[in-house]
């Protein structure tokens, strides 16, 4: 069994994805984002679950006084404080500036992500939909367009949606990916697609349910919505808790697990026909051990990193959920 797991396991180059200072930088950024909100437009309260609307919840933990709670009805976790104005977090750090970098390191990083992660996403789509040739794909929150470039290589007809005009122009001219400077809400009603992808997006918005319903309206018959989102029931969060790289008050407002994904699919009236988890849980925990001087644990974890991660992925307890709805 272990050999079967290892044969299909795709490893990740940790020297690229988890540099030595990853964990200490992360803790700093988490605090910074909370400060940006506090110095900006402040927080507003969320009194009911963004998916099932129940107001029954219990607190899991908090980070910098922002509580992360568990909905007693559908088991979604959400922060009961969200920024009044999301631009406090997205514009403060010039997050877009990092997408516009053109130095060799940025190019190499994007190329790695395309080869390692985008092609994996293309393979998952073809597992469900067959060959991508002539499928129309809309990627919401396309960023540097590395996924769409890989999908275009598989002959899909690709369009990206991105909120920053600068990023749209840059990606279009540099990589030849067709981009629309718009949110899904502003997109023309008549625009329809076979596949709508939202990678690491739904956890960032106030109303993930409304976003999913909106996406459904833009699907062709038999079309699919393909999402990635953090898994609250993951080894990463189990160990790291409020200090996890996934727990990001102000940025990540909702945290799903298999139960709340099921509830989401019911609420939007679509079947969840693909559900898997995968991630870098072990590398993330290892990064914390190194940063906090736990050398012995770090060494044994490092020696067994891939096999541990392969087992975590397979058990459904890895930090990233991949789900497809039809």
- Least Å distance between CB 256 and Zn ion? 11
Q: Which one among 49, 118, 205, 312 touches Zn ion, defined by CB under 5 A?
A: 49
Instruction: Report how far residue 40's alpha carbon sits from residue 87's, in angstroms, rounded to the nearest whole number.
Output: 9
CA triple 318-324-326, angle to 5 deg:
160
Q: Which one among 26, 71, 135, 201 touches Zn ion, defined by CB under 5 A?
A: 71
The nearer residue to Zn ion, 76 or 135, going by C-beta atoms, is 76
- Least Å distance between CB 254 and Zn ion? 10
The nearer residue to Zn ion, 29 or 54, going by C-beta atoms, is 54
Collapsing DSSP states into helix, strand and coil, what is residue 259? Answer: helix
- Least Å distance between CB 52 and Zn ion? 3
Q: Which one among 26, 52, 211, 264 touches Zn ion, defined by CB under 5 A?
A: 52
Which one of 44-52, 136-144, 226-234, 278-286 is the stretch in contact with Zn ion (CB under 5 A)?
Answer: 44-52
β-pairing verdict for 136-140 and 157-162? parallel
Instruction: Report how far residue 215's alpha carbon sits from residue 220's, in angstroms, rounded to the nearest whole number.
Output: 11
Which one of 3-11, 48-56, 187-195, 272-280 is the stretch in contact with Zn ion (CB under 5 A)?
Answer: 48-56
- Least Å distance between CB 206 and Zn ion? 15
User: Which residues have CB under 8 Å from 251's CB, separation 6+?
Assistant: 33, 89, 204
- Least Å distance between CB 57 and Zn ion? 8
- Least Å distance between CB 252 and Zn ion? 16
> Pseudo-torsion of CA 52, 197, 322, 239, nearest 10°?
-80
For the chain, the C-alpha Rg in angstroms (whole number) is: 19
CA triple 228-78-218, angle to 5 deg:
45
**Tokens 């396309």 belong to residue:** 142
The nearer residue to Zn ion, 49 or 177, going by C-beta atoms, is 49
The nearer residue to Zn ion, 152 or 227, going by C-beta atoms, is 227
CA triple 265-269-272, angle to 5 deg:
35
The nearer residue to Zn ion, 70 or 218, going by C-beta atoms, is 70
Residues 92-111 that bind Zn ion (CB under 5 A): none
Burial of 97 (0-12, 13-18, 19+ CB in 10 A): exposed
Output the six-digit token pair for 286.
């290892």
Collapsing DSSP states into helix, strand and coil, what is residue 283? Answer: helix
In the chain, what is the straight-line distance between the N-terminal and C-terminal CA atoms, in Å?
Answer: 31
Beta-ladder partners of 59 = 69
The nearer residue to Zn ion, 160 or 230, going by C-beta atoms, is 230
**Site size for Zn ion (CB under 5 A):** 8
- Least Å distance between CB 262 and Zn ion? 11
Q: x/- site string to Zn ion, residues 72 to 91, per CB under 5 A?
A: -xx-x---------------
The nearer residue to Zn ion, 73 or 162, going by C-beta atoms, is 73
The nearer residue to Zn ion, 37 or 268, going by C-beta atoms, is 268
Q: Kindly list the residues in this chain that would bind Zn ion in the complex (CB under 5 A).
A: 49, 51-52, 54, 71, 73-74, 76
């Amino acid at each position: 069994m272990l050999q079967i797991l290892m044969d299909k396991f795709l490893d990740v180059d940790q020297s690229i994805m988890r540099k030595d200072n990853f964990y200490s930088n992360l803790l700093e950024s988490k605090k910074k984002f909370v400060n940006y909100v506090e110095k900006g437009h402040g927080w507003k309260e969320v009194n009911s679950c963004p998916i099932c609307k129940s107001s029954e919840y219990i607190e899991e933990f908090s980070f910098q006084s922002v509580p992360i709670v568990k909905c007693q009805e559908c088991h979604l976790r959400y922060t009961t404080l969200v920024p009044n104005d999301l631009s406090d977090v997205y514009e403060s750090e010039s997050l877009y500036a990092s997408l516009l970098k053109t130095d060799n390191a940025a190019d190499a990083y994007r190329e790695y992500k395309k080869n390692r992660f985008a092609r994996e996403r293309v393979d998952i789509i073809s597992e469900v939909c067959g060959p991508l040739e002539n499928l129309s794909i809309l990627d919401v929150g396309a960023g540097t367009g590395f996924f769409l470039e890989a999908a275009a290589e598989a002959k899909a007809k690709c369009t990206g949606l991105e909120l920053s005009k600068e990023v749209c122009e840059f990606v279009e001219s540099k990589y030849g990916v067709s981009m629309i400077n718009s949110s899904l809400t502003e997109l023309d009603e008549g625009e329809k697609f076979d596949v709508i992808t939202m990678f690491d997006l739904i956890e960032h918005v106030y109303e993930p349910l409304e976003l999913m319903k909106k996406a459904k309206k833009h699907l062709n018959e038999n079309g699919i919505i393909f999402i990635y989102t953090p898994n609250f029931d993951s080894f990463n969060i189990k160990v790291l808790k409020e200090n996890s790289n996934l727990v990001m008050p102000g940025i990540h407002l909702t945290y799903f697990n298999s139960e709340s994904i099921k509830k989401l699919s019911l609420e939007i009236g679509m079947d969840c026909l693909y559900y898997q988890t995968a991630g870098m849980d072990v590398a993330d925990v290892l990064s914390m051990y190194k940063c906090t001087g736990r050398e012995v644990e770090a060494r044994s974890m490092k020696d067994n990193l891939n096999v541990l991660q392969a087992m975590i992925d397979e058990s459904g307890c890895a930090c990233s959920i991949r789900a497809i709805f039809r």
